Structure 1
Amino acid sequence: MTFATPVDGLVAARYGDSDDSAYPVPANETVALLYRHRSVRSFTDAPVDEHTVSTLIAAGQSAATSSNLQSWSVIEVRDPAHKDRIALLSGDQDFIRQAPVFLVFVADWARNRLIAERQEARTAGIDFMETTLVAFVDAALAAQNTVIAAESLGLGTVYVGAVRNHAEELSGVLELPPGAFPVVGLAVGHPDPTAPGGIKPRLPQDVVRHRERYTRPSEESVAKYDATLSAYYESQGEPRGWISTVLQRVRDRASLHGRDRMRDALGRRGLPSR
């Protein structure tokens, strides 16, 4: 089955290839929107109104959720001073201050714990790793739905994992109760049309797609992708490669920018994650 839709060049761009015909896949407007995704770190001064944010949150709530537990929440931040404090705790990234709306998606077992306590029911199941993972996955799925909705409305977004750099301090700034933990931030706004940006190539499918059982990626495929991504970064004025990025990130504890203390932080925040 095929669909008539303007996707010419998008698949090739996503893989850093020169020929769409190498990827003869069905496509429609939704698929094209997904292929066009890019992170936006520069925004105009145009506001994002209340109704639009309500639409984005509704889209987030439309994501799948484990057992319909809906174990996530989102904090909407607009106040400049509040955004500044969050930015300082999240890698001091200026686009957080610049974006008209900053959303923090939260793994939230505080709400369901409160519901259980009001029913005088036990809550020991919240203390396990599985329960923590459920809330993190729920929050991530909601965030991704929000991104897709935002891009469909012409907005730009960028995820901010650095909200976990100082998760306990940020939890204090957001006044999160015990059992609630920041998962990821999302800057939302109108993309600055003068800022450079493109579709960043991803790993080839023969590296990430496994048939029946896991197989090790070939050195040739990884090296080819490293060269492809290096060329992309060069075109954006940011010379670096993929392999070097991976090696830098996994090198030591310092490369995690405080996130090496996550298990202890979760425990102190009411999520022991045993």
Structure 2
Amino acid sequence: MNETIEMLLKHKSIRKFEERSLTEEQIHTIVQSAQAASTSSYIQAYSIIGVKDVAKKEELAELAGNQNYVASSGHFFIFCADLHRHEIIGDMKGTDLKESLDSTEKFMVAVIDAALAAQNATVAAESLGLGICYIGGIRNHVQEVSELLNLPHRVIPLFGLTVGYPAQDPGVKPRLPLEHIYYEDEYPQEQTLYKQQLNEYDKVVSAYYHERTGGKRANTWSEQMSQMLAEPKRMFMKDFVEKKGFSKK
């Protein structure tokens, strides 16, 4: 096992940072690493907004659900699905791109491109000794975030990424077992086996929380998922996405 794989397997979300800002060199290295990620058909359908302004970071922390570590991180990146520049290309070349840009397929391309870039950014940051945490909470108030960042038509804020110097070591959360994620040749549909695997994983997760919290918490993964998914969230998203010019067809 090499150092890169060891680093990947030790990944953890950091929610407490030292009061140190990232240097310009660190920021540029992380962004350039993000840009080196694979991109569908070379379309590069994403943009990254780096937020330095303290007041703006504090407002974003509040909009994300009062996640204070957004404001206290060394730097806050927001990854956006972006087809705005492609719309401009259509104007430049006198080509009607609307049907393509309106499509659900191009929406998926933009989201996937942004996610691939973000994971490259994460690996780069962690290789520099920094910690990260993804912030999906910015979608709680996606319209307000869009206005705060002055995002044009065909640009959607997908998630944030806090990056900074870790001031905690929360430990690595146990993931689903490999055999419950990786299948060969076809998707197995044996429900009895599936439930057995989930029950076994629940025991592992419960033990993890019990040890991490000193016995104050011992809930299972399936309990967390059933409680979270029982209450639909952000049901306004489809309308927002379509108003931004995505996934109309």
Does the residue aligned with 1:37 lie in a helix, a strand or coil?
coil
How high is the sequence identity, in percent, across the aligned residues? 36
Task: Name the residue aligned to 1:32.
Answer: 6
Q: Which amino acid is the alignment partner of residue 114 of structure 1?
A: I
Cα offset, 1:235, TM superposition: 2.2
Larger displacement relative to structure 2 (179-188 or 161-170): 161-170
1:3 — aligned with what? Answer: none
Aligned length: 242
What is the rounded CA distance, in whole Å, between the counterparts of 1:209 and 1:189 in structure 2? 32
Aligned match of 1:210: 183
Does structure 1 residue 77 correspond to structure 2 residue 51?
yes
**1:182 Cα offset (Å):** 0.8
- In structure 1, runs of 5+ residues without a counterpart are 1-26
Give the conservation status (yes or no) of the 8 Å contact 1:196–1:236: no
Contact 2:105 / 2:247 at 8 angstroms: preserved in 1?
Answer: no
Task: Check conservation: 2:61, 2:70, Cα contact below 8 A.
Answer: yes
Give the Cα–Cα distance (whole angstroms) in 2 for the partners of residues 196 and 138 of structure 1.
Answer: 30
Residue pairs, 1:186-201, within 5 angstroms:
186-192=161-167, 195-201=168-174
TM-score, L = length of structure 1: 0.85
Q: TM-score, normalised by structure 2?
A: 0.94
Q: Distance in 2 between matches of 1:83 and 1:214?
A: 43
**CA separation in 2, counterparts of 1:47 and 1:171?**
24
Shift of 1:196: 4.2
Which residues in structure 2 correspond to 1:1-274 (within 5 Å)?
A: 27-123=1-97, 124-192=99-167, 195-216=168-189, 217-237=193-213, 239=217, 240-253=219-232, 256=233, 259-274=234-249
Matched position secondary structure for 1:91:
coil
Runs of 4+ in structure 1 off by over 6 angstroms are none
Report if the CA contact (8 A) 2:125-2:131 is conserved: yes
Distance 1:33 1:273, change over 3 A: farther
What residue identity is the alignment partner of 2:231? Answer: D
Question: Which 5+ residue runs of structure 2 have no aligned equivalent?
Answer: none
Once the 2 structures are TM-superposed, how far is the Cα of residue 100 of structure 1 from its aligned partner? 2.1
Distance 1:96 1:236 in 2: 23
Between the aligned partners of 1:120 and 1:191, the Cα distance in structure 2 is 49
